[in-house]
Structure 1
């Protein structure tokens, strides 16, 4: 039978003391590391290193960058960690020309504000000035323009708010590819038809139509034009049925263009 080796307590004590010492040293190093890390974080948060360095604004076309910054309340003096994206978005979405906002924060010092503006469907002409009409039906009477920006048709002679609102709804439903072909929309009501409108197109044609179902009937415009002789201009009627009426003479065409300019 093998003899058991007996280790005395006196022999084990130095090894136990050394193991305890190593464990205590590791714990001390951990505590010191956490302490200095905490100090570093506090110094970082209190210094300009944690401030915003870059504010990117994207998607805005009509609302000025300076206005967006002012409304958002965000500046390069702000601490990156204290900027609340949802709060910034809510502030900006109160602007009448802004539909939605998405705010992205990119560590360590960048914030991106992505703007989705309410679409402009037209510009109402009044006393030599132009006022934007938004897709939600709002008229921006406080935004007076001497010349329209060309991104939407000009609406001329719209004195009836009811008909203007209906026209706005129709334009909202019209594809952008067709809206961009329209230069001017004149409200030309008659006793028999208060919904009658007359359009001047960028390609030289005129369109006689009605506000009612305008967005549906106007979709056929490209197809109708593609079947016409491009050298022969005139009026395309899409109110009742669809047919083309060529200008009888160049003089008559000139008179129509002069009326448009007036």
Structure 2
């Protein structure tokens, strides 16, 4: 008799444990009645009738999905290895359970194929310099395709774009050549500006005879200070011509 009552009490405890469930604020329970969808319950204390009702617990918090490294061939035929991270959450618990077998695995596989597809349409320079644009493009496509699963993809971040050693050396040479090109352009622009200023100065000096004479004298003074040896300069006729004209 003792064992009978003990078994009965144990059975009652098991039934109660499977009848009352506590759903946290970020959890929902998708309840099925005899195999058919019944309703979504929670948060708080919910009642699920054993045997005739079944419950699937769904977490609504944002999840972080690490996309494994993918081999991608860019539009300019460069082979790179790329990995990314996806932030998503379940917004419709019913669709996440009914419309897809395993929404986490499905989102992971879709993220990998979408990453390869989108990056394969762009050149290497865009992968390295326009990540924000690529992140947005991937996020938009994933969000649209997972909408029927009750999933919202909130953010996509490309973490690493890895190149082989030969490509790294080629990019370094390209960057060095670009720096040299810019230096030559800057030097040429400087020479052009200097020649223009010299031309303007020559025009001014040619129009003002006194200015030309003063410039000549200034040059003699500078040379005399810097040089200790005797230097003979030809005396321009134009320099003494004004004195003869006065006479």
| Higher RCO, 1 vs 2 (CA within 8 Å, ≥6 residues apart) | 2
Report the TM-score, using the length of structure 2 for normalisation: 0.28
Report the TM-score, using the length of structure 1 for normalisation: 0.26
Greater share of helix residues, 1 or 2?
2
